[in-house]
Each structure stands twice: as structure tokens, then as C-alpha cells.
Chain A
Amino acid sequence: MSVSPPALPPRSAPLPDGELEHLLSAFYKSELPDPFPSLQAPTPLVERAYPEQAEPFAPAGGRRAPVASRVALAASVAVLFGSCWYLSGTRPEEGPAHDGNLINSGGSAKRIVIGGLPRPSDVPAPNPPGKSAHPTERGR
């Protein structure tokens, strides 16, 4: 009894040229999108070059709304400056009546000077050399 060798996997003959062409054509045609989708430019260049001709985000009120908003902005700025001027107390008619005494305008009380130089008795004595003012700084 003879044992036959295991059969090799079948190797088909090379495809004839016509068959290969048909196969390739069918494959590539199936891959190509059909219909090929169109593409439009996001925004036309002319719209940016001439904004008066096309304003995509123009409000319904036409050109009145930008003018109104500018007037409102100008009024707001004017009010802001007016308030600043009023609160700063630089009105000319109130200037001479104020003598700078914040506690008693009669002049008998002690005058407080804000932002003035400290008196010598208020200044702490300087540290001796090698000693830091703060205990934590000594350890550094």
C-alpha cells in the first residue's frame, strides 16, 4: 500500500490579461465615489474684499444699529468721565472752603497728616549686625 503525499494548495494559473484588466477596473470603479461629491469654497473672496456689497451678519435694522451703538458708547464714556470729575472733588467753587483738617475745621484739634513722614520716636531701633528682625529669618 502506497501513501500519497499531501496535496499542495491549488495554485491557479495567472489571470489572463483581459481578466486582470476587468478585475482591476471593477475594483477601482467600486472604490471611486460615484457621484463624485462637489466642493464649494467656504466664503467667496469678493465678500471679504467688498464688505459693503455683502454683509452676511448684518442686523435686520440695516445701518442704523451700528450708529445707535456708537452713540450709546459715546454717552457711556461721557458719563464715566463726568462721574470721575465729580467724585474727584476738584470743583472750583468748593476749593477755598476746605482747609485740610479732617477732624475739626475749627483749627484747635490736633492735625492729622496722612502720608506724612513718621516722627523719630515712632521708628523702631535698627537691629544689631548679624541679627534678623524676624525669628524665621535667622535659620536661613
Chain B
Amino acid sequence: MTRDPSAAGPRHAEFEALYQRHGRAIWAIAYARSMDADLALDVTQESFLKLWKEWEAGKEIKNPRAWLIRVARNLAEDYAKSAFRRNGTHPPQLMNGVRSGEPLPLEALERDETFGQLREVLEQLPVGDRDILTLRYALDYDAPQIAELLSINATAVHMRLCRARQRLAERLAAQGVKPLS
């Protein structure tokens, strides 16, 4: 069911506009920490609901995007810690890169295997590098956009992106990962 935001009030419309504008970026921040798309989505929505509660409590947040990023980082790290306690180094569904028990066509199986290896290598990278990679490749952000979002300068983004790609290429080659057909 969809509601008309303008009918529900300006705060409601502002909330939905904020989610439309920054939801994906918050997801990317959460995903870079958890490497789990579903969990990142939960964290994203929880962060926005926390923002709503702050508004309801009458608190004024000057920079909602920065506030959301901070909350999403904390939540994702908390989730990652609790998941580590429950499951060890990898959540069960990520083992071998296979995320579903359903039979898959051969090509999709190969692709999932490659993605599984890539995920393992990505997990070994620093979180800061994963932030940049996720924003660059999931959301197609360019260096200035990433720099603005993460409050770092664009040169640092370029350097870290270049270094992260180099590390990835080396590690993937060591694992014998082939390019996607």
C-alpha cells in the first residue's frame, strides 16, 4: 500500500525523500561492513527508523545524511560482531559463495563460484577500501561523490581505489579466478 506523502505531512514527505536520496548509499555503507545484502538492507531501514524516532522525539538533526551514515556504521559493526559470535568467521549462507540450495544452471553456478571467491578476497580488504569499492561499483559513484559522502578528499579516493583494485587483482590471480565469460 502506498500513501501520498504530501497528504501525510511535510515531515513524512521529507523522510521518504531522504530515503529515496540516500537509502542506497546507506545500504552501501552497511554492506561494506557486513558483506551481506539482506543484512545491509535491514541496517539501512533500521537507521532510517531511528532517524524517524529522533524526529518524533523532537530532536533536530542538522545533517541527516551524516547522522544516518554514522548510525548505519555502528549498527552494521554491531551486527557483524554478533554474527561472528554466532557463526565464526563466515555466516553459514556465505560458505562456498553459494547462497541458495536451489539447483542452478551451470553458468550461474560458475558465476556464483567466482563471486564467492571475490567475496572472500573482498572480506580481507580494509573496511575503508570496501566502502569505496561498494560506492563505486554498486552505485556508480565517481570519486568526488565518494569523497563528499565519506568526508575525505578525492585524491585519497583515487589512491585507495587504485590500491584496492591492485590488491584484488593479485589475490584473485593467486586463487586462479578467471574473468566472467
Contact = CB atoms under 8 A, between A and B. Distances in A.
A3 interface: no
Contacts, number: 111
A19 B172 CA distance: 12
A20 B180 contact: no
B138 interface: yes
Given A11-B173, A28-B133, A28-B138, A39 B179 contact: no
A22 B31 contact: no
A47 B176 CA distance: 59
Contact of A32 (B24, B48, B179, B180): B24
A14 B9 contact: no
Interface in B98-122: 111, 114-115, 118-119
B168 A20 contact: yes
A12 B179 CA distance: 10
Interface string B13-38: 00110011001100100010000010
B64 to A, nearest CB: 13
Interface residues of B, number: 45
Contact of B45 (A10, A15, A39): A39
Nearest to A24: B137
B114 A23 contact: yes
B174 to A, nearest CB: 6
Interface in B110-159: 111, 114-115, 118-119, 133-134, 136-139
Interface of A: 9-17, 19-33, 36-42, 44-48
